Amino acid sequence: MSGDRDWHQELAKAVRALRTPDFPQTLVAALGTLVSFDFSVMFAYRGDERPLDLFDNFGETRREIFVSIYQEGPYLLDPFFQASRDSCAPGLYRIRELAPDRFYQSEYFRSYYVRTGLSEEIGFFIALPEEVRAVISLMRAGKRQTFSEKEMARLRLVEPVVRAAAEYHWENLSARFSAERPDPEQEILERHIDATFRNFGRSLLSPREREVAGLILRGHSSDSISKILGIAAGTVKVHRKNTYSKLGIASQSELFSIFLGSLSQMRSTVVPPPRK
């Protein structure tokens, strides 16, 4: 009963903090009375735009990995970003429930995600006006056990309350996607990040090969890609082979390196708009 009392007391604080800067941290404190976790981060997504960091409780070093580096481009391969872009239904999800079938063997996971040191990440998905999605992530780090089914059930019981509070608090969040991007150079950069992903290998690869390369980068297997694109798994393997041959590579790690190199090159060649 003490847990229920703590939850209601902390929830009351979160309700009082609605529409104030203190809401995210008071909500995290309330959720912490139900289950234990090490970190929390809240991102907002709209289409392919650069995510907004609404809240996080990382230290400076971890924030560099979880937020700063993430916003520079790796978010494009994040299952939570992909689910948000695909208008995932509101609810509570484990990242593995939304990830492609080969996500944990993908180079994104091995080269970026493992650097976070997480044992598991779960997220509340919130649908907001103007196609904005907010995700409230709870994370366990190191060798801690994943969230148990009992803990997930406890969180699902309060999910409607969490969602209703977040919907009210961030009702006008779409305006921030414009308000927090006043720099024309940054807007151009973000458009180039998206274009780099969509047009990755454009000068060498066919449109279908680029589709296959993008799905490989996200962590899809040949069978998964065949279902998504409606083609035979054998055809996917042919496209993969041709893609690797045209790019002069032999592994997914090299494909990931080329993709990151494309992002770096794009940043160095973006020409700022003329100042008025």
Question: pLDDT tens-digit profile of 126-178?
Answer: 999 999 999 999 999 998 999 999 999 999 999 999 999 999 999 999 999 87
Q: Could you tell me which residue, 111 or 190, shows the higher pLDDT?
A: 111
Q: Any idea which residue has 């003490």 for tokens?
A: 2
Homologous superfamily of 2-177: Transcription factor LuxR-like, autoinducer-binding domain (3.30.450.80)
Q: For residues 74 and 263, what is the distance between their CA atoms, to the nearest angstrom? A: 10
Q: How far is CA 150 from the centre of its chain?
A: 25
Is the Cβ–Cβ distance between 134 and 44 less than 8 Å?
yes
Is the Cβ–Cβ distance between 125 and 90 less than 8 Å?
yes
Retrieve residue 136's tokens: 């409230």
Q: Any idea which residue has 């807007």 for tokens?
A: 187
Domain ranges of the chain: 2-177, 181-268
In the chain, beta strands by DSSP E: 39-46, 52-56, 91-94, 118-128, 132-141
CATH class of 181-268: mainly alpha
| Dihedral pair phi/psi, residue 15, rounded to 5° | -65, -40
Retrieve residue 225's tokens: 């890609």
The model's pLDDT over 189-246, given as tens digits with 9 standing for 90+, comes to 455 555 555 666 667 888 898 888 888 888 888 999 999 999 999 999 999 999 999 8
Is the Cβ–Cβ distance between 43 and 54 less than 8 Å?
yes
Average pLDDT over residues 105-134: 91
Where is average pLDDT lowest: 70-79, 139-148, 169-178, 266-275? Answer: 266-275
Considering the entire predicted model, what is its pTM? 0.78
pLDDT tier, 252 (very low <50, low <70, confident <90, very high otherwise) = confident
Is the Cβ–Cβ distance between 54 and 134 less than 8 Å?
yes
Q: For residues 219 and 79, what is the distance between their CA atoms, to the nearest angstrom? A: 9
